[in-house]
Amino acid sequence: MSNRVIEVVDYDPNWKIIFETEKIALTKAIGSNTVKIDHIGSTSVIGLSAKPVVDILIEVSNLEELDAAHENIYALGYTIKGENGISGRRYFQKGGNQRSHHVHAFQSSDLHLHRHRAFKEYLIAHPTIASEYGFIKKEAVSKSDNDINAYMALKNDFIQKYEKLALEWFCN
């Protein structure tokens, strides 16, 4: 039984500052293998309600070199989670049970990089859809009883629909 409390809060402009600070630390920890570090997820979309967890997308040139930097990443307070269900991903969590950061790292050619970036940019470009997403997340958190799997399932239809549209939109 987890003691994790799942909450969705109104947008906080400090999330951008938190990301920028963490980006500097992660760049130092990973070194020259870093290609690009992006702020993704709901905390990266101005005005969107979100779980107060900063999602970070890291593009690296080589996953094995990233794996060799685990000690440096661990020293920043991250738990190393491996692929954590997505082939080719390296996933890290910070903040213990009440997470503060999620890091998703992929090698440059991985299509998941494109998917994450497309969804973020789509929500920024379509504020009405972003607002609908915020409403769905608040409803999901109220119905999920702090069960992250239930919370994710309640958002899944929206994400599946709009991620597909985002990818089509992003490619044009």
Indicate the domain borders of the chain. Answer: 14-171
- Looking at residue 59, what is its pLDDT? 98
- Please, which residues have CB within 8 angstroms of residue 50's CB and are 6 or more apart in sequence? 8, 9, 11, 15, 41, 42, 43, 134, 137
Q: How far apart are CA 50 and CA 53, in angstroms?
A: 8
Radius of gyration of the chain (CA): 16
Measured at the alpha carbon of residue 50, what is the angle toward residues 44 and 55, in degrees to the nearest 5?
45
pLDDT score at 44: 98
pLDDT (0 to 100) of residue 2: 58
Q: What is the pTM of this model?
A: 0.94
- What integer pLDDT is reported at residue 172 of this predicted model? 73
Q: Mark the ranges of the chain whose per-residue pLDDT is less than 50.
A: 1
Fold classified for 14-171:
Beta Polymerase; domain 2 (3.30.460)
Q: What is the DSSP string of 110-143?
A: -HHHHHHHHHHHHHHH-HHHHHHHHHHHHHHHHH
Task: Convert the pLDDT of each residue in 74-96 to its tens digit.
Answer: 999 999 999 999 999 999 999 98
